Homo-oligomer: A and B are copies of this chain.
Amino acid sequence: MQHFASDNYAGICPEALQALINSNTSGHEPAYGDDSWTTQVCDRIRDLFQTDCEVFFVFNGTAANSLALASLCQSYHSVICHELAHIETDECGGPEFFSGGSKLLTARGENGKLTPDAIEELVTKRADIHYPKPKVVALTQATEVGTVYTVEEIRAIAAIAKRRHLKVHMDGARFANAVATLGVHPSEITWRAGVDVLCFGGTKNGLPVGEAVVFFDKALAADFAYRLKQAGQLASKMRFISAPWLGLLDDDVWLRNARHANAMAQLMAERLVEIPGVSLLFKPESNAVFAELPTHVATALRAKGWRFYQFIGSGGCRLMCAWDTQRETVERFVDDVRTLAAST
């Protein structure tokens, strides 16, 4: 049975699995990334972004974000992010741990997005040594609430970051979904817009495990390989982390997977709003739908076996679609909502 709790509930997409299997046929391969598969994938990612950049593979998103941020700031610096950012709400203090104590300074913002003004306010609020000095702006693309920064929004944030000597980090756990939504070249919302480091998510897009950390500013990647090793993020049999990316990159499967998930979210949203008593909390611009259901409906859905996140004490629900979410699952879920909403 499929669920809408998380895009992590989905398995490995066929192409990634095949690439993994293929990489196991080449017999012995050097360990720790000195293998031919890893070299190939790094080159492919550089090609994808149309620029020379440093590419590293880590095991998950917490590590990707935390280590990227740690390479951008010291323990007495701070990171500006949205109050709903994953690094603030769902990494159990990972960024603080890996950086040795860097503080996250959170800002509010419509639709889960940071704004230049919010950043400016946080940067200029304090300028004394009793408060950690801002060094990084961290964006999430797509955001935690399913919205997507436009190219212009990212550029505007990068501009204020430049003026205030802040590095720009992008948490791209659902980067593919954002690119699919915007229909732009991936470089347009990263280095061409002023992003220094991208955590390029693979797991939610169909990989078994692993994210890529892409440093567009190569100087920031100095000794990053040592950092990964020390932090327990260097895979010995690296090919099994890197090679599956080939399954995503060949024939733009990564975009196809993202487009499908996005489309399922669109379908879900369109169907849900037709139901009396149901409303959307955010505009669904990627693969997430945030809907307000009557509380009893949400409860009843769970009783029927559906799994999804529900905000405590309300009918607010997060419904995530994955690369493998079936149209009929969406239809069936919506039917259940409709039926339950009608039967009060």
User: Are B131 and A92 closer than 8 Å at their CB atoms?
Assistant: yes
Name the one of B2, B27, B101, B208 contacting A240, with C-beta atoms under 8 angstroms.
B208
User: Are A131 and B90 closer than 8 Å at their CB atoms?
Assistant: yes
Give every chain B residue within 8 A of A131 (Cβ-Cβ): 89-90, 92
- Protomer copies: 4
Interface residues of chain A, those whose CB is within 8 Å of chain B, are: 1-3, 5-6, 8-12, 17, 20-21, 23-32, 58-63, 66-67, 74-78, 89-94, 96-103, 125, 129-133, 203-204, 208-209, 223, 225-237, 240-241, 307, 312, 322
User: Are A75 and B100 closer than 8 Å at their CB atoms?
Assistant: yes
Give every chain B residue within 8 A of A223 (Cβ-Cβ): 74, 76-77, 133
Q: A76–B30 Cα gap in the complex (Å)?
A: 23
Name the one of B31, B132, B208 contacting A9, with C-beta atoms under 8 angstroms.
B31
Q: How far is the CB of A84 from chain B (nearest CB, A)?
A: 13
User: Are B62 and A229 closer than 8 Å at their CB atoms?
Assistant: yes
Q: With A90-B130, A93-B102, A101-B101 given, is the CB distance from A60 to B235 under 8 Å?
A: yes
Q: With A132-B93, A232-B58 given, is the CB distance from A240 to B75 under 8 Å?
A: no
Give every chain B residue within 8 A of A24 (Cβ-Cβ): 11-12, 17, 208
Give every chain B residue within 8 A of A9 (Cβ-Cβ): 28-31
Q: List 19 A-B contacts (CB under 8 A).
A: A9-B28, A11-B26, A11-B28, A17-B21, A59-B233, A76-B92, A76-B227, A89-B131, A90-B131, A92-B129, A93-B230, A96-B102, A97-B101, A98-B232, A99-B101, A101-B230, A129-B234, A130-B229, A208-B240
Name the one of B29, B208, B229 contacting A92, with C-beta atoms under 8 angstroms.
B229
Q: A137–B254 Cα gap in the complex (Å)?
A: 46
Give every chain B residue within 8 A of A25 (Cβ-Cβ): 11
Name the one of B26, B60, B232 contacting A66, with C-beta atoms under 8 angstroms.
B232
Give every chain B residue within 8 A of A30 (Cβ-Cβ): 5, 9, 307
Most B C-beta atoms less than 10 A away, residue of A103, A125, A227:
A103
Q: A228–B66 Cα gap in the complex (Å)?
A: 13
User: Are A240 and B133 closer than 8 Å at their CB atoms?
Assistant: no
Closest B residue to A73 by beta carbon equals B223
Closest B residue to A67 by beta carbon equals B232
User: Are B93 and A60 closer than 8 Å at their CB atoms?
Assistant: no
